[in-house]
A = this chain, B = another copy of it.
Amino acid sequence: MPYIALKLVEGRSIEKKRELVSSVTKAVCDSLEITPDNVRIELIELKADLFSIGGELVSDRDQVKAK
């Protein structure tokens, strides 16, 4: 432990993901005073047409904004 599931909307670069898992792991280790080898992070990328806010798919909201 700890096991971290991090949900974010799809689209970040692999470099951003590297930076994300590295800095979140460090933050967890510094706070809980543990070593990194037991810290696991699962990135769950949400697709805009499978995620809604306020009853509307994010993909539909994006299209409205794009017009």
A45 engages B50 (CB within 8 Å): yes
A residues contacting the other copy or chain, number (CB 8 A): 48
This chain: copies in complex: 6
| Complexed CA–CA distance, A32 and B27 (Å) | 15
**Neighbouring B residues of A19 by C-beta, 8 Å:** 31
Contact status of A25 and B52, CB under 8 A, knowing A5-B4, A7-B2:
yes
Please, how many angstroms separate the alpha-carbon atoms of A58 and B6 in the complex? 16
Residues on A lying within 8 angstroms of B by beta carbon are: 1-9, 12, 14, 16-28, 30-32, 36-46, 49-57, 60
Decide if A20 touches B28 in the complex (CB within 8 Å): yes
The CA of A12 and the CA of B30, in the complex, are separated in Å by 14
